[in-house]
């Protein structure tokens, strides 16, 4: 059996849409026919602990396999600040994944990004508060490394995915991406509470288009682990910036979230096979080697412990 080449990180709703037959979900099973097949669950213990869920190996209709992690746990019981990003990314790397297609619900900071619309951002503003472990380096292990993060997502992967998403969007919904020198910017806040109106308006002034609580540290850790990473977002609401509207209600978010998860499932099914094929044919450049010049500490200073730990994600440098 070959390793899964792509990893998917999404919420448990997305998984539910893939696998309506999972026992502990009571779901109508309406989508049974076109769902992905569950091959097996892999319980992975990484040097940074356990991922949010087992790594679920799912088969596409062609038989190609993907690896899925439910970001907030299978029962959605892990808050964005509690998600163990280090373990999630390391676990996907460990099972052989080369690139990650992540899904996230976001709030919209722009009138033209309507609830239900899809967004593939190319830039990030980090407003998390360093209570999440956001790097594999430092942490008293004696290895210093600085990953490039000017392009927080894998540009080639995102531009490969965009037309595929567009193809299957239900009519009335739009896909928003960067164009020309206009970035598509995601601001990542700590949460778990949503923004105040003042914060929401500040993010608009900073040039942000959408907001969520999940892309950091995922995108940073994927870079450090030399994995491709792109994010497909679905807008649930208008956050809190609109003066003459009620701020986002949780009920509104959950309702749109469910519809969005259904749409995300169709998008995922159209996208994943193509991404798998492109990665196996080397049509999307590999991230292998991208950390080559980032590690500042010289090899002879690595401790036995740091080598053991870091070789889990970067065997070429820490063997």
Of 114 and 163, the one with the shorter C-beta distance to ligand NAG is 114
* Least distance in angstroms from the C-beta of 306 to ligand NAG: 19
Count CA within 13 A, CB hemisphere, residue 269: 21
The binding site for ligand NAG (CB under 6 A) comprises 24, 73-75, 80, 104-107, 191, 194, 211-214, 239, 253, 288-289, 292, 316
190: number of Cβ within 10 Å: 17
Instruction: For residue 250, give the 3-state DSSP assignment.
Output: helix
Of 80 and 121, the one with the shorter C-beta distance to ligand NAG is 80
Return binding residues for phosphate.
12, 71-72, 104-105, 214
The answer to whether residues 110 and 209 touch, using CB atoms and an 8 Å cutoff, is yes
- Beta-carbon contacts of 5 under 8 Å, excluding residues fewer than 6 positions away, are 64, 66, 96, 97, 98, 99, 276, 279, 280
Of 76 and 139, the one with the shorter C-beta distance to ligand NAG is 76
Beta-ladder partners of 90 = none
* Least distance in angstroms from the C-beta of 101 to ligand NAG: 15
Catalytic residue among 34, 126, 237, 300: 237
* Least distance in angstroms from the C-beta of 251 to ligand NAG: 13
Separation between Cα atoms, residue 45 and residue 285, nearest integer Å:
29
- Beta-carbon contacts of 129 under 8 Å, excluding residues fewer than 6 positions away, are 190
The answer to whether residues 59 and 39 touch, using CB atoms and an 8 Å cutoff, is yes
237 noted as active-site residue:
yes
Pairing of strands 228-237, 185-189: unpaired
* Least distance in angstroms from the C-beta of 161 to ligand NAG: 19
Return binding residues for substrate.
213, 237-239
For residues 106-141, b (16+ Cβ closer than 10 Å) or e, as one string? bbbbbeebebbbbbbbbbbbbbbeeebebbbbeeeb
Joined together, the tokens standing for residue 100 give 């990650």
The answer to whether residues 287 and 261 touch, using CB atoms and an 8 Å cutoff, is no
* Least distance in angstroms from the C-beta of 107 to ligand NAG: 3
Asked whether the CA dihedral 86, 92, 97, 103 is positive or negative, the reply is negative
41 noted as active-site residue:
no
Closest residue to ligand NAG in the complex (CB): 212
* Least distance in angstroms from the C-beta of 24 to ligand NAG: 5
Of 39 and 253, the one with the shorter C-beta distance to ligand NAG is 253
Cis omega (within 30 of 0) for bond into 169: no
Of 108 and 158, the one with the shorter C-beta distance to ligand NAG is 108
Return binding residues.
12, 71-72, 104-105, 213-214, 237-239
Catalytic residue among 117, 126, 209, 239: 239
Of 43 and 163, the one with the shorter C-beta distance to ligand NAG is 43
The residues assigned a catalytic role are 237, 239
């Amino acid at each position: 059996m070959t390793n899964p080449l792509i990893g998917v990180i999404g919420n448990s709703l997305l998984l539910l849409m893939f696998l309506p037959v999972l026992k502990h979900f009571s779901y109508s099973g309406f989508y049974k026919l076109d769902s992905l097949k569950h091959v097996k669950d892999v319980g992975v213990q990484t040097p940074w602990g356990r991922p949010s869920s087992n790594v679920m190996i799912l088969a596409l209709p062609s038989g190609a396999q993907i690896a899925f992690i439910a970001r907030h746990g299978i029962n959605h019981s892990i808050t964005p600040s509690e998600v163990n990003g280090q373990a999630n990314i390391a676990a996907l790397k460990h099972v052989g994944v080369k690139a990650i297609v992540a899904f996230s619900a976001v709030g919209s900071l722009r009138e033209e990004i309507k609830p239900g619309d899809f967004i593939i951002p190319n830039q990030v503003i980090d407003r998390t508060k360093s209570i999440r472990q956001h790097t594999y380096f430092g942490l008293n292990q004696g290895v210093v490394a600085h990953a490039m993060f000017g392009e927080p997502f894998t540009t080639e992967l995102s531009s490969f995915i965009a037309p595929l998403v567009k193809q299957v969007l239900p009519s009335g919904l739009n896909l928003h991406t960067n164009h020309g020198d206009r970035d598509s910017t995601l601001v990542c806040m700590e949460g778990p509470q949503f923004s105040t109106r003042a914060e929401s308006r500040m993010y608009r002034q900073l040039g942000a288009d959408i907001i969520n609580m999940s892309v950091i540290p995922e995108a940073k850790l994927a870079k450090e682990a030399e994995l491709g990473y792109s994010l497909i977002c679905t807008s649930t609401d208008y956050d809190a910036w609109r003066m003459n509207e009620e701020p986002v209600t949780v009920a509104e978010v959950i309702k749109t979230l469910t519809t969005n998860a259904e749409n995300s499932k169709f998008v995922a099914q159209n996208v994943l096979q193509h991404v798998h094929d492109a990665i196996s044919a080397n049509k999307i450049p590999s991230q292998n080697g991208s950390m080559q010049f980032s590690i500042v500490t010289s090899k002879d200073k690595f401790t036995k412990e740091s080598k053991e730990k870091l070789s889990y994600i970067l065997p070429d440098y820490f063997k």
